[in-house]
Amino acid sequence: MTAVVIDPVREQRADVHPVPLSRVINVELRKMFDTRSGFWLMASIVITALLTTIGTIAFAPDADLTYYTFAKAIGFPMTVVLPMIAILSITGEWSQRTGLTTFTLVPHRNRVIAAKAISSVAVAIASMLFAFVIGAIGNLVGTAIAGTDMVWDVSLAEGANIVLGSLLCLLTGTMLGMLIRSSAGALVTYFVYSLLLPTVAGILATSQQWFQDLRPWVDLNYAQAALFEGTLTAEQWANVAVTASTWLVLPAILGLRLVLKSEVK
């Protein structure tokens, strides 16, 4: 019925080479954009960045029109959206059942997960560079409109800290995706993790002295928040390292084990 030739007999295939990781990363990046939901999630990063910049110019007091204000205003919605992208990239394989194809094309699931994590980080870094650029434009335009002096108050080190803080948020998404493997479940857990827990911890810290002392060592959100506020002391770096190991690295290792062992149906 058709001219297409199928030639199944090549038991000795000389032209079959292992799938390089770069190709898996490439495909996983594509899969983040090629659905309507994926596209709008990405688009929302750009849209919210523009909206917050305009909002900052319109509503922020003239004295606050500094680069830091812009960078922070643009960065906040990103710390919400980026983890969602990281979560959906992983959970979709189970929730949408595309894993049936993905994991038969790349049977070593750790490579797929690695590719997804790398793609998510790449998207995050690109988004943040975009945020810094939009923030700079906002700062130029905003100060010009308000007639105030331009203030460039984000050093390279501080910028790097903001990037690191956002990446920790993003990787929390990756971790939850592996651990839970269901889109709805992982998204809900992420919001509990990032919105509800800090509130509870905050209430506990104001009423219990012992917890206030302990908090920087057990509350990832609290330790991480310092990254967005400037440069860190040695103790604050230790706080970040300890809380990230407990709340990010350990669950991620457990999650990866579950991903490798779980049945894909």
Interhelix angle 21-33/109-146, nearest 10 degrees? 50
Query: Pick from 131, 130, 161: which is nearest to 231 by CA?
Result: 161
Q: How far is CA 207 from CA 201, 204, 211, 216, 220, in A?
A: 10, 5, 9, 16, 19
The nearer residue to other proteins, 244 or 264, going by C-beta atoms, is: 264
Residue 152: CB minimum distance to other proteins, A = 42
- Alpha-carbon span 101 to 119, nearest angstrom: 19
Least distance between other proteins and beta carbon 190 (Å): 21
Q: Taking the complex as a whole, how short is the minimal distance between the CB of residue 263 and other proteins, in angstroms?
A: 5
CB of 1 to other proteins, least distance (A): 7
Q: Which is nearer to other proteins, 98 or 199 (CB)?
A: 98
Quickly list H helices, the chain: 21-33, 36-59, 67-95, 99-105, 109-146, 156-180, 183-191, 197-207, 209-218, 220-225, 234-244, 250-261
Which of residues 7 and 149 has its CB atom nearest to other proteins in the complex? 7
Q: How far is the CB of 256 from other proteins (least distance, A)?
A: 16
State which residue, 1 or 156, has the beta carbon closest to other proteins.
1
Nearest to other proteins of 72, 109 (CB atom): 109
Min separation Cβ 244 and other proteins, Å:
31
Q: How far is CA 249 from CA 102, 180, 207, in A?
A: 25, 15, 30
Q: CA 174, CA 114: separation in Å to the nearest integer?
A: 10
- Cβ closest to other proteins, residue 31 vs residue 72: 31
Interior angle at CA 167, CA 161 and CA 172, nearest 5: 130
**Least CB distance to other proteins at residue 248 (A):** 28
Which are the contacts of 231, defined by CB distance < 8 A and separation ≥ 6? 155, 157, 158, 161
By beta-carbon proximity to other proteins, the closer residue of 71 and 106 is 106
Interaction site with other proteins (CB under 8 A): 1-2, 4, 6-11, 13, 15-19, 23-24, 26-27, 30-31, 34-38, 92, 96-101, 103-108, 261, 263-265
